[in-house]
A = this chain, B = another copy of it.
Amino acid sequence: MSGVETYLAEHYEEALEDLKAFCRIPSVSTDPAFNEGILAAAEFMANRLKKAGFASVEVLDTGGHPAVYGQVISDAALPTILVYGHYDVQPPDPLDKWASPPFDPSIREDRLYARGVSDDKGPLLIPILVVEAYLNNEGRLPVNLKILIEGEEESGSEHFEPTLERNRGRLACDLVISADGAMWRPDRPSMTVASRGMVAIDVTVTGASKDLHSGRHGGSAPNPIRALCKLLASFHDAEARVAVPGFMDGIKSLDPTILTAIDVADFDAGAYYREIGTPKPDPIENGSQLLVRQWLEPTLEFNGIFGGYQGPGTKTVIPSSASVKITCRLVAGQKPSKVIEAITRHLETNLPAGYGLQIEPHGPGSEAFSVDPNLPGLLAAESVLAELLGSYPLRVAMGATIPIGTAFRKYLGAEVIFFSFSTSDEDYHAPNEFFRLSNFRTGLVAWARLLGRLADHPKLEPTIII
Protein backbone atom coordinates (compact mmCIF):
# COMPACT_ATOMS: atom_id res chain seq x y z
CA MET A 1 0.00 0.00 0.00
CA SER A 2 1.36 3.40 -0.98
CA GLY A 3 1.88 6.14 1.57
CA VAL A 4 -1.07 8.02 0.17
CA GLU A 5 -3.33 4.99 0.52
CA THR A 6 -2.12 4.39 4.07
CA TYR A 7 -2.82 8.06 4.86
CA LEU A 8 -6.34 7.75 3.43
CA ALA A 9 -7.05 4.61 5.47
CA GLU A 10 -5.76 6.24 8.65
CA HIS A 11 -7.85 9.36 8.12
CA TYR A 12 -11.02 7.55 7.08
CA GLU A 13 -13.02 8.49 10.20
CA GLU A 14 -12.25 12.16 9.66
CA ALA A 15 -13.23 11.81 5.98
CA LEU A 16 -16.56 10.32 7.03
CA GLU A 17 -17.15 13.23 9.43
CA ASP A 18 -16.39 15.65 6.58
CA LEU A 19 -18.93 13.91 4.37
CA LYS A 20 -21.57 14.02 7.12
CA ALA A 21 -20.94 17.73 7.66
CA PHE A 22 -21.31 18.36 3.92
CA CYS A 23 -24.57 16.35 3.88
CA ARG A 24 -26.03 18.37 6.77
CA ILE A 25 -26.21 21.41 4.47
CA PRO A 26 -29.59 21.50 2.66
CA SER A 27 -28.26 22.68 -0.71
CA VAL A 28 -31.41 22.15 -2.81
CA SER A 29 -30.89 24.16 -5.98
CA THR A 30 -34.34 24.14 -7.53
CA ASP A 31 -36.21 25.73 -4.61
CA PRO A 32 -35.42 29.36 -3.63
CA ALA A 33 -36.40 28.50 -0.03
CA PHE A 34 -33.05 26.69 0.20
CA ASN A 35 -30.88 29.59 -1.01
CA GLU A 36 -29.14 29.81 2.34
CA GLY A 37 -28.17 26.13 2.05
CA ILE A 38 -26.80 26.74 -1.44
CA LEU A 39 -24.54 29.55 -0.24
CA ALA A 40 -23.48 27.55 2.82
CA ALA A 41 -22.56 24.54 0.65
CA ALA A 42 -20.51 26.71 -1.73
CA GLU A 43 -18.71 28.21 1.30
CA PHE A 44 -18.18 24.73 2.78
CA MET A 45 -16.60 23.55 -0.47
CA ALA A 46 -14.34 26.59 -0.76
CA ASN A 47 -13.11 26.12 2.81
CA ARG A 48 -12.65 22.38 2.31
CA LEU A 49 -10.55 23.02 -0.82
CA LYS A 50 -8.36 25.49 1.06
CA LYS A 51 -7.91 23.04 3.96
CA ALA A 52 -6.94 20.32 1.48
CA GLY A 53 -4.23 22.57 0.08
CA PHE A 54 -5.85 23.95 -3.06
CA ALA A 55 -4.71 27.37 -4.22
CA SER A 56 -6.64 30.10 -6.10
CA VAL A 57 -9.84 28.95 -4.39
CA GLU A 58 -12.72 31.14 -5.50
CA VAL A 59 -16.50 31.19 -5.31
CA LEU A 60 -17.46 32.13 -8.88
CA ASP A 61 -20.43 34.31 -9.66
CA THR A 62 -22.29 32.55 -12.48
CA GLY A 63 -25.42 34.67 -12.62
CA GLY A 64 -27.21 31.90 -10.72
CA HIS A 65 -26.05 29.70 -7.88
CA PRO A 66 -22.28 30.14 -7.52
CA ALA A 67 -19.69 27.63 -8.71
CA VAL A 68 -16.54 26.86 -6.72
CA TYR A 69 -13.08 26.70 -8.26
CA GLY A 70 -9.67 25.64 -6.97
CA GLN A 71 -6.37 24.38 -8.40
CA VAL A 72 -3.10 22.69 -7.48
CA ILE A 73 -0.47 23.42 -10.12
CA SER A 74 2.54 21.20 -9.48
CA ASP A 75 4.61 21.54 -12.61
CA ALA A 76 3.81 23.09 -15.97
CA ALA A 77 5.27 20.03 -17.65
CA LEU A 78 2.70 17.70 -16.11
CA PRO A 79 -0.71 17.05 -17.63
CA THR A 80 -3.62 19.04 -16.22
CA ILE A 81 -6.75 17.29 -15.01
CA LEU A 82 -10.01 19.18 -14.42
CA VAL A 83 -12.31 17.49 -11.89
CA TYR A 84 -16.03 18.20 -12.19
CA GLY A 85 -18.71 17.75 -9.56
CA HIS A 86 -21.71 19.53 -8.05
CA TYR A 87 -22.59 20.55 -4.49
CA ASP A 88 -26.34 21.01 -5.05
CA VAL A 89 -28.88 18.28 -4.36
CA GLN A 90 -32.41 17.21 -5.31
CA PRO A 91 -35.36 18.29 -3.16
CA PRO A 92 -35.95 15.87 -0.26
CA ASP A 93 -39.72 15.44 -0.80
CA PRO A 94 -41.66 13.41 0.13
CA LEU A 95 -40.26 13.86 3.63
CA ASP A 96 -42.52 11.29 5.25
CA LYS A 97 -40.95 8.51 3.20
CA TRP A 98 -37.50 8.95 4.79
CA ALA A 99 -36.48 6.48 7.51
CA SER A 100 -34.06 9.13 8.90
CA PRO A 101 -34.17 12.89 8.20
CA PRO A 102 -32.67 13.78 4.79
CA PHE A 103 -30.25 16.36 6.20
CA ASP A 104 -29.29 14.41 9.31
CA PRO A 105 -26.86 11.80 7.91
CA SER A 106 -27.35 8.34 9.36
CA ILE A 107 -25.27 5.15 8.94
CA ARG A 108 -27.03 1.80 8.66
CA GLU A 109 -25.29 -1.39 7.48
CA ASP A 110 -22.26 0.44 6.09
CA ARG A 111 -24.43 2.83 4.10
CA LEU A 112 -24.65 6.54 4.76
CA TYR A 113 -28.23 7.83 4.29
CA ALA A 114 -28.74 11.51 3.39
CA ARG A 115 -30.06 13.65 0.56
CA GLY A 116 -27.26 14.21 -1.92
CA VAL A 117 -24.78 11.77 -0.38
CA SER A 118 -24.63 9.64 -3.53
CA ASP A 119 -25.44 12.45 -5.98
CA ASP A 120 -22.90 13.95 -5.71
CA LYS A 121 -21.46 14.91 -2.29
CA GLY A 122 -19.79 11.57 -1.52
CA PRO A 123 -18.25 11.00 -4.96
CA LEU A 124 -17.20 14.68 -5.15
CA LEU A 125 -15.49 14.70 -1.75
CA ILE A 126 -13.29 11.74 -2.75
CA PRO A 127 -10.89 13.57 -5.12
CA ILE A 128 -10.61 16.48 -2.64
CA LEU A 129 -9.59 14.07 0.11
CA VAL A 130 -7.15 12.39 -2.26
CA VAL A 131 -5.50 15.71 -3.13
CA GLU A 132 -5.17 16.43 0.60
CA ALA A 133 -3.61 13.02 1.16
CA TYR A 134 -1.09 13.54 -1.64
CA LEU A 135 -0.15 17.01 -0.43
CA ASN A 136 0.13 15.99 3.22
CA ASN A 137 2.00 12.79 2.45
CA GLU A 138 4.13 13.60 -0.58
CA GLY A 139 3.99 17.40 -0.68
CA ARG A 140 2.89 17.38 -4.32
CA LEU A 141 0.45 15.85 -6.81
CA PRO A 142 1.44 13.58 -9.70
CA VAL A 143 -0.57 15.89 -12.03
CA ASN A 144 -1.77 19.46 -12.13
CA LEU A 145 -5.33 19.39 -10.84
CA LYS A 146 -8.17 21.90 -11.20
CA ILE A 147 -11.63 21.46 -9.78
CA LEU A 148 -14.92 23.06 -10.84
CA ILE A 149 -17.92 22.47 -8.62
CA GLU A 150 -21.33 23.47 -9.94
CA GLY A 151 -24.41 24.52 -7.89
CA GLU A 152 -27.17 24.09 -10.49
CA GLU A 153 -26.75 20.54 -11.76
CA GLU A 154 -30.05 19.42 -10.25
CA SER A 155 -31.96 22.40 -11.63
CA GLY A 156 -30.95 22.51 -15.28
CA SER A 157 -27.38 23.93 -15.24
CA GLU A 158 -28.63 27.13 -16.82
CA HIS A 159 -25.41 29.06 -16.18
CA PHE A 160 -22.96 26.24 -16.66
CA GLU A 161 -22.02 26.67 -20.31
CA PRO A 162 -21.66 30.49 -20.03
CA THR A 163 -19.39 29.87 -17.00
CA LEU A 164 -17.25 27.49 -19.06
CA GLU A 165 -17.09 29.99 -21.88
CA ARG A 166 -16.11 32.90 -19.62
CA ASN A 167 -13.44 30.84 -17.83
CA ARG A 168 -11.88 29.05 -20.78
CA GLY A 169 -8.37 30.21 -19.90
CA ARG A 170 -8.52 29.34 -16.23
CA LEU A 171 -10.16 25.93 -16.89
CA ALA A 172 -7.78 24.83 -19.68
CA CYS A 173 -6.89 21.16 -19.19
CA ASP A 174 -5.88 17.94 -20.91
CA LEU A 175 -8.68 15.75 -19.54
CA VAL A 176 -11.88 16.22 -17.55
CA ILE A 177 -12.82 13.65 -14.94
CA SER A 178 -16.38 13.84 -13.75
CA ALA A 179 -16.94 12.78 -10.17
CA ASP A 180 -20.64 12.88 -11.06
CA GLY A 181 -22.31 9.97 -12.81
CA ALA A 182 -22.90 6.50 -11.43
CA MET A 183 -21.87 2.92 -11.80
CA TRP A 184 -24.61 1.21 -13.70
CA ARG A 185 -25.09 -1.71 -11.32
CA PRO A 186 -23.86 -2.59 -7.84
CA ASP A 187 -22.71 -6.07 -8.83
CA ARG A 188 -20.13 -5.20 -11.47
CA PRO A 189 -17.84 -2.30 -12.33
CA SER A 190 -18.70 -0.21 -15.36
CA MET A 191 -17.59 2.88 -17.22
CA THR A 192 -20.14 5.06 -18.99
CA VAL A 193 -18.72 5.79 -22.42
CA ALA A 194 -21.75 6.99 -24.39
CA SER A 195 -25.01 8.81 -23.90
CA ARG A 196 -27.84 9.81 -26.19
CA GLY A 197 -28.36 13.33 -27.51
CA MET A 198 -31.63 15.21 -27.44
CA VAL A 199 -33.97 17.48 -29.30
CA ALA A 200 -37.20 18.90 -27.87
CA ILE A 201 -40.16 20.10 -29.91
CA ASP A 202 -43.62 21.39 -29.01
CA VAL A 203 -46.36 20.79 -31.57
CA THR A 204 -49.83 22.36 -31.66
CA VAL A 205 -52.63 21.49 -34.07
CA THR A 206 -55.34 24.13 -34.41
CA GLY A 207 -58.89 23.89 -35.70
CA ALA A 208 -61.66 26.49 -35.37
CA SER A 209 -60.75 29.93 -34.03
CA LYS A 210 -62.53 29.21 -30.75
CA ASP A 211 -63.93 26.24 -28.84
CA LEU A 212 -67.18 24.98 -30.36
CA HIS A 213 -70.20 23.11 -29.00
CA SER A 214 -69.63 19.46 -29.85
CA GLY A 215 -73.35 18.82 -30.29
CA ARG A 216 -74.08 21.63 -32.65
CA HIS A 217 -70.81 21.35 -34.60
CA GLY A 218 -69.90 17.70 -34.16
CA GLY A 219 -69.51 16.10 -37.59
CA SER A 220 -68.77 19.31 -39.47
CA ALA A 221 -66.08 21.06 -37.43
CA PRO A 222 -62.44 19.92 -37.38
CA ASN A 223 -61.38 18.33 -34.09
CA PRO A 224 -57.68 19.08 -33.41
CA ILE A 225 -57.42 16.26 -30.86
CA ARG A 226 -58.49 13.80 -33.54
CA ALA A 227 -56.02 15.25 -36.05
CA LEU A 228 -53.20 15.32 -33.50
CA CYS A 229 -53.79 11.69 -32.49
CA LYS A 230 -53.80 10.60 -36.13
CA LEU A 231 -50.49 12.41 -36.61
CA LEU A 232 -48.91 11.02 -33.46
CA ALA A 233 -50.08 7.50 -34.26
CA SER A 234 -47.95 7.68 -37.40
CA PHE A 235 -44.75 8.42 -35.48
CA HIS A 236 -43.99 4.85 -34.43
CA ASP A 237 -44.21 1.47 -36.11
CA ALA A 238 -45.75 -1.64 -34.59
CA GLU A 239 -42.48 -2.34 -32.77
CA ALA A 240 -42.63 1.12 -31.15
CA ARG A 241 -39.62 2.30 -33.21
CA VAL A 242 -39.64 5.78 -34.72
CA ALA A 243 -41.22 5.63 -38.20
CA VAL A 244 -40.73 9.27 -39.23
CA PRO A 245 -39.03 9.31 -42.66
CA GLY A 246 -35.50 10.72 -42.39
CA PHE A 247 -35.38 10.44 -38.61
CA MET A 248 -32.91 7.54 -38.68
CA ASP A 249 -30.66 9.07 -41.35
CA GLY A 250 -26.96 8.92 -40.61
CA ILE A 251 -27.15 6.49 -37.71
CA LYS A 252 -23.92 4.56 -37.33
CA SER A 253 -23.88 0.82 -36.78
CA LEU A 254 -24.20 -0.23 -33.16
CA ASP A 255 -21.01 0.05 -31.12
CA PRO A 256 -19.70 -3.56 -30.79
CA THR A 257 -18.02 -2.82 -27.45
CA ILE A 258 -21.31 -1.83 -25.94
CA LEU A 259 -23.12 -4.73 -27.60
CA THR A 260 -20.60 -7.00 -25.92
CA ALA A 261 -21.25 -5.33 -22.59
CA ILE A 262 -24.97 -5.84 -23.11
CA ASP A 263 -24.42 -9.52 -23.84
CA VAL A 264 -22.25 -9.96 -20.78
CA ALA A 265 -24.62 -7.95 -18.59
CA ASP A 266 -27.40 -10.56 -18.81
CA PHE A 267 -29.94 -7.89 -17.90
CA ASP A 268 -33.16 -9.14 -16.29
CA ALA A 269 -36.03 -7.61 -18.28
CA GLY A 270 -38.63 -9.18 -16.00
CA ALA A 271 -37.12 -7.52 -12.94
CA TYR A 272 -37.01 -4.20 -14.80
CA TYR A 273 -40.71 -4.27 -15.63
CA ARG A 274 -41.59 -5.37 -12.12
CA GLU A 275 -39.61 -2.42 -10.79
CA ILE A 276 -41.32 0.17 -12.94
CA GLY A 277 -44.67 -1.49 -12.27
CA THR A 278 -45.88 -2.46 -15.70
CA PRO A 279 -46.23 -5.65 -17.74
CA LYS A 280 -43.63 -6.25 -20.44
CA PRO A 281 -44.65 -4.56 -23.71
CA ASP A 282 -44.77 -6.70 -26.85
CA PRO A 283 -41.70 -5.52 -28.77
CA ILE A 284 -39.24 -6.25 -25.93
CA GLU A 285 -38.37 -9.93 -25.77
CA ASN A 286 -35.41 -10.01 -23.41
CA GLY A 287 -32.94 -7.96 -21.42
CA SER A 288 -30.45 -7.56 -24.27
CA GLN A 289 -33.11 -6.14 -26.57
CA LEU A 290 -34.19 -3.84 -23.78
CA LEU A 291 -30.70 -2.42 -23.27
CA VAL A 292 -30.17 -1.99 -27.01
CA ARG A 293 -33.37 0.05 -27.04
CA GLN A 294 -32.38 2.13 -24.02
CA TRP A 295 -28.75 2.76 -24.92
CA LEU A 296 -28.26 2.45 -28.65
CA GLU A 297 -31.52 3.27 -30.40
CA PRO A 298 -33.05 6.70 -30.77
CA THR A 299 -36.45 7.51 -29.32
CA LEU A 300 -39.25 9.95 -29.88
CA GLU A 301 -41.23 10.25 -26.66
CA PHE A 302 -44.43 12.16 -26.02
CA ASN A 303 -43.77 13.86 -22.67
CA GLY A 304 -47.11 15.60 -22.43
CA ILE A 305 -50.34 16.01 -24.35
CA PHE A 306 -53.17 18.45 -23.77
CA GLY A 307 -56.19 20.05 -25.34
CA GLY A 308 -59.83 20.78 -24.48
CA TYR A 309 -61.55 19.99 -21.21
CA GLN A 310 -59.68 18.14 -18.45
CA GLY A 311 -61.97 18.58 -15.44
CA PRO A 312 -64.47 16.24 -13.84
CA GLY A 313 -67.68 15.29 -15.60
CA THR A 314 -68.42 16.24 -19.15
CA LYS A 315 -67.97 19.37 -21.22
CA THR A 316 -69.31 19.09 -24.74
CA VAL A 317 -66.62 21.05 -26.48
CA ILE A 318 -64.60 20.70 -29.65
CA PRO A 319 -61.39 22.45 -28.63
CA SER A 320 -59.72 24.95 -30.91
CA SER A 321 -56.29 23.38 -30.39
CA ALA A 322 -54.42 20.35 -29.09
CA SER A 323 -50.73 20.14 -28.24
CA VAL A 324 -48.01 17.62 -27.58
CA LYS A 325 -44.57 18.00 -26.06
CA ILE A 326 -41.94 15.78 -27.68
CA THR A 327 -38.36 14.94 -26.81
CA CYS A 328 -36.17 12.68 -28.90
CA ARG A 329 -33.03 10.90 -27.75
CA LEU A 330 -30.46 10.70 -30.50
CA VAL A 331 -27.69 8.19 -31.14
CA ALA A 332 -24.32 8.49 -32.83
CA GLY A 333 -24.61 9.86 -36.36
CA GLN A 334 -27.93 11.69 -35.97
CA LYS A 335 -27.82 15.46 -36.47
CA PRO A 336 -30.27 17.36 -34.24
CA SER A 337 -31.09 19.84 -37.02
CA LYS A 338 -31.88 17.01 -39.43
CA VAL A 339 -34.09 15.31 -36.86
CA ILE A 340 -36.05 18.52 -36.30
CA GLU A 341 -36.40 18.87 -40.08
CA ALA A 342 -37.62 15.29 -40.46
CA ILE A 343 -40.26 15.70 -37.77
CA THR A 344 -41.40 19.04 -39.18
CA ARG A 345 -41.69 17.61 -42.69
CA HIS A 346 -43.57 14.55 -41.43
CA LEU A 347 -46.08 16.72 -39.57
CA GLU A 348 -46.58 19.11 -42.47
CA THR A 349 -46.96 16.28 -44.98
CA ASN A 350 -49.52 14.37 -42.95
CA LEU A 351 -51.61 17.21 -41.52
CA PRO A 352 -55.15 16.79 -42.86
CA ALA A 353 -56.84 19.70 -44.64
CA GLY A 354 -58.75 22.03 -42.34
CA TYR A 355 -56.12 22.27 -39.62
CA GLY A 356 -53.32 24.62 -38.68
CA LEU A 357 -49.93 23.55 -37.32
CA GLN A 358 -47.39 25.19 -35.03
CA ILE A 359 -43.99 23.58 -34.47
CA GLU A 360 -41.63 25.04 -31.89
CA PRO A 361 -38.25 23.41 -31.25
CA HIS A 362 -36.61 24.18 -27.89
CA GLY A 363 -33.11 25.21 -28.91
CA PRO A 364 -30.86 23.44 -31.40
CA GLY A 365 -30.66 20.17 -29.46
CA SER A 366 -27.54 18.13 -28.77
CA GLU A 367 -25.82 15.24 -30.49
CA ALA A 368 -25.13 11.92 -28.86
CA PHE A 369 -21.95 11.82 -26.82
CA SER A 370 -19.32 9.13 -26.78
CA VAL A 371 -15.84 8.79 -25.39
CA ASP A 372 -13.01 7.92 -27.80
CA PRO A 373 -12.54 4.19 -27.12
CA ASN A 374 -8.75 4.64 -27.05
CA LEU A 375 -8.68 7.72 -24.83
CA PRO A 376 -5.67 7.27 -22.51
CA GLY A 377 -7.63 8.57 -19.51
CA LEU A 378 -10.35 6.02 -20.12
CA LEU A 379 -7.85 3.18 -20.37
CA ALA A 380 -6.14 4.34 -17.17
CA ALA A 381 -9.41 4.51 -15.29
CA GLU A 382 -10.42 1.06 -16.50
CA SER A 383 -7.13 -0.45 -15.40
CA VAL A 384 -7.56 1.01 -11.90
CA LEU A 385 -11.09 -0.37 -11.61
CA ALA A 386 -10.03 -3.78 -12.88
CA GLU A 387 -7.24 -3.88 -10.31
CA LEU A 388 -9.44 -2.84 -7.38
CA LEU A 389 -12.76 -4.48 -8.21
CA GLY A 390 -11.57 -7.82 -9.53
CA SER A 391 -13.07 -7.65 -13.01
CA TYR A 392 -12.61 -5.45 -16.01
CA PRO A 393 -15.34 -2.78 -16.10
CA LEU A 394 -18.08 -3.04 -18.69
CA ARG A 395 -18.23 -0.16 -21.11
CA VAL A 396 -21.85 0.90 -20.90
CA ALA A 397 -23.98 3.57 -22.48
CA MET A 398 -26.82 5.47 -20.95
CA GLY A 399 -30.16 6.39 -22.38
CA ALA A 400 -30.17 9.83 -20.80
CA THR A 401 -28.25 12.81 -22.10
CA ILE A 402 -25.01 14.02 -20.42
CA PRO A 403 -24.74 17.69 -21.33
CA ILE A 404 -21.31 18.13 -19.74
CA GLY A 405 -19.80 15.60 -22.14
CA THR A 406 -20.37 17.85 -25.13
CA ALA A 407 -19.99 21.10 -23.15
CA PHE A 408 -16.39 20.46 -22.03
CA ARG A 409 -15.50 19.33 -25.53
CA LYS A 410 -17.06 22.46 -27.00
CA TYR A 411 -15.56 25.08 -24.68
CA LEU A 412 -12.30 23.48 -23.54
CA GLY A 413 -11.56 21.03 -26.33
CA ALA A 414 -11.14 18.37 -23.65
CA GLU A 415 -12.55 14.86 -23.39
CA VAL A 416 -14.49 13.71 -20.34
CA ILE A 417 -14.47 10.43 -18.49
CA PHE A 418 -16.93 9.53 -15.75
CA PHE A 419 -15.28 8.19 -12.62
CA SER A 420 -17.93 8.12 -9.96
CA PHE A 421 -18.38 5.76 -7.06
CA SER A 422 -22.09 6.12 -6.61
CA THR A 423 -24.33 3.40 -8.01
CA SER A 424 -27.51 3.89 -9.97
CA ASP A 425 -29.61 2.03 -7.37
CA GLU A 426 -28.78 4.47 -4.55
CA ASP A 427 -32.14 6.30 -4.81
CA TYR A 428 -30.53 9.61 -5.57
CA HIS A 429 -33.72 11.27 -6.82
CA ALA A 430 -35.95 9.55 -4.26
CA PRO A 431 -36.38 9.23 -0.50
CA ASN A 432 -33.70 7.38 1.51
CA GLU A 433 -30.81 8.23 -0.79
CA PHE A 434 -27.71 6.41 0.39
CA PHE A 435 -24.06 5.93 -0.49
CA ARG A 436 -22.27 2.62 0.01
CA LEU A 437 -19.36 3.36 2.37
CA SER A 438 -17.46 0.44 0.86
CA ASN A 439 -17.51 2.42 -2.40
CA PHE A 440 -16.40 5.54 -0.52
CA ARG A 441 -13.32 3.65 0.69
CA THR A 442 -12.72 2.03 -2.71
CA GLY A 443 -13.15 5.37 -4.42
CA LEU A 444 -10.45 6.99 -2.29
CA VAL A 445 -7.92 4.33 -3.28
CA ALA A 446 -9.09 4.38 -6.91
CA TRP A 447 -8.70 8.14 -7.32
CA ALA A 448 -5.27 8.01 -5.63
CA ARG A 449 -4.11 5.38 -8.12
CA LEU A 450 -5.77 7.07 -11.10
CA LEU A 451 -4.03 10.40 -10.44
CA GLY A 452 -0.74 8.53 -10.17
CA ARG A 453 -1.40 6.77 -13.47
CA LEU A 454 -2.30 10.01 -15.28
CA ALA A 455 1.14 11.56 -14.68
CA ASP A 456 2.08 10.55 -18.22
CA HIS A 457 -1.29 11.44 -19.81
CA PRO A 458 -0.72 13.24 -23.11
CA LYS A 459 -1.04 17.00 -23.08
CA LEU A 460 -3.35 18.72 -25.53
CA GLU A 461 -2.05 21.22 -28.06
CA PRO A 462 -2.39 24.63 -26.38
CA THR A 463 -4.07 26.03 -29.50
CA ILE A 464 -7.11 23.93 -28.83
CA ILE A 465 -7.68 24.88 -25.28
CA ILE A 466 -7.87 28.66 -25.30
A213 interface contact, C-beta 8 A: yes
Would you list which residues of chain A between 221 and 243 have a CB under 8 Å from chain B? 221-223, 225-226, 228-230, 232-236, 240
Which positions in A face B, CB cutoff 8 Å? 196, 198, 200, 206-210, 212-223, 225-226, 228-230, 232-236, 240, 272-273, 276-282, 284, 290, 293-294, 297, 299, 301-310, 313-319, 322-325, 327, 329, 352-356, 362, 398-401
Q: Inside 8 A of A322's CB, which chain B residues have their CB?
A: 305
Q: Which 9 A-B pairs have the closest CB atoms?
A: A209-B277, A215-B400, A281-B354, A233-B233, A219-B293, A304-B308, A225-B302, A304-B309, A218-B299
Q: Cβ of A279 and Cβ of B354 under 8 Å apart?
A: yes
Q: Which residue of B lies closest to A199 (CB)?
A: B314
Q: Which residue of B lies closest to A328 (CB)?
A: B218
Give A436 Cβ to nearest chain B Cβ, in Å. 20
On whether A294 and B352 interact (CB within 8 A), knowing A232-B226, A277-B210, the answer reads: no
Q: Cβ of B325 and Cβ of A215 under 8 Å apart?
A: no
Q: Cβ of A196 and Cβ of B215 under 8 Å apart?
A: yes
Q: Cβ of B294 and Cβ of A207 under 8 Å apart?
A: no
On whether A214 and B299 interact (CB within 8 A), knowing A233-B230, A281-B354, the answer reads: yes
Q: Cβ of A215 and Cβ of B399 under 8 Å apart?
A: yes
A-B contact pairs, 15 of them (CB 8 A): A196-B215, A207-B278, A212-B276, A213-B400, A214-B327, A216-B398, A216-B399, A219-B329, A229-B302, A230-B233, A280-B353, A304-B308, A305-B308, A310-B323, A310-B325
**Integer count of this chain's copies in the complex:** 2
Q: Cβ of B223 and Cβ of A282 under 8 Å apart?
A: no
Q: Inside 8 A of A305's CB, which chain B residues have their CB?
A: 225, 228-229, 305-308, 322
Give A403 Cβ to nearest chain B Cβ, in Å. 11
Query: Of B207, B279, B307, B399, which is within 8 A of A217 by CB?
Result: B399
Q: Inside 8 A of A207's CB, which chain B residues have their CB?
A: 278
Query: Of B293, B307, B354, which is within 8 A of A280 by CB?
Result: B354
- Distance, CA A400 to CA B284, complexed state (A): 46
- Distance, CA A319 to CA B215, complexed state (A): 31
Q: Cβ of B401 and Cβ of A215 under 8 Å apart?
A: yes
Query: Of B233, B276, B398, which is within 8 A of A209 by CB?
Result: B276
Q: Cβ of A399 and Cβ of B219 under 8 Å apart?
A: yes
On whether A281 and B222 interact (CB within 8 A), knowing A276-B212, A276-B217, the answer reads: yes
On whether A310 and B306 interact (CB within 8 A), knowing A220-B294, A276-B212, the answer reads: yes
- Distance, CA A229 to CA B277, complexed state (A): 21
Q: Cβ of A327 and Cβ of B316 under 8 Å apart?
A: yes
Q: Inside 8 A of A308's CB, which chain B residues have their CB?
A: 302-305, 325
On whether A220 and B293 interact (CB within 8 A), knowing A226-B236, A400-B215, the answer reads: yes
Q: Inside 8 A of A220's CB, which chain B residues have their CB?
A: 272, 284, 290, 293-294, 399
Q: Cβ of A325 and Cβ of B309 under 8 Å apart?
A: yes
Q: Inside 8 A of A319's CB, which chain B residues have their CB?
A: 303-304
